Structure 1
Amino acid sequence: MNRYTVNDHNIISIGYDEIKNVLEIEFKLQAIHQYFNVSLDEFIALMKAPKKETHYFNFVYCQYLFDVV
């Protein structure tokens, strides 16, 4: 999965697999989380958000199951 570098306080990069509907977020704390069953619309909303960390906490963190890679 390709991740896109973002300019955010705690997030380094964000990627999305359209086939598997998996959102991948790389954090500055050297952790990578994969979130499952995330829609393409949610990925686009996250990428367009002016404050990605805020959007992540409000719309991704507690809404989707995830695993640490």
Structure 2
Amino acid sequence: MNRVPVSSSNLSSVGYNESKQVLEIEFNGGRVYQYFDVPKRIHKELMNAASHGKYFHRNIEDNYRYDQIK
């Protein structure tokens, strides 16, 4: 999945597969997680958030099933 770099103290890059509703996040330090059944709206809001890290912690982290892939 292609990820886009983001300016964040926590997140390094973000990717999204709309057809599968999979959000992929690379954290600073290199860990990569995929979050499942994430609506397009959540991805859009994350990318437009003033703070990507705060949005992630408030709206994604404990709300979606995930797997660490790297």
Same fold per superposition (TM over 0.5): yes
**Partner in structure 2 of residue 60 of structure 1:** 60
How many residues align? The count is: 69
**Partner in structure 1 of residue 47 of structure 2:** 47
Q: TM-score, normalised by structure 2?
A: 0.96
Q: TM-score, normalised by structure 1?
A: 0.97
Shift of 1:29: 2.0
- Structure 1, unaligned runs of 5 or more: none
Q: Give CA deviations for 1:11-40 in whole Å, capped at 9, x if unaligned.
A: 110000011100000001210000000000
4+ aligned runs moved over 3 Å, structure 1: none
**Partner in structure 1 of residue 22 of structure 2:** 22
CA RMSD across the alignment = 0.6
- Structure 2, unaligned runs of 5 or more: none
Q: Give CA deviations for 1:37-68 in whole Å, capped at 9, x if unaligned.
A: 00000000000001000000000001000000
Letter in 1 for 2:44: I
Distance 1:5 1:49 in 2: 14
Query: Quick one: percent identity of the two aligned structures?
Result: 36
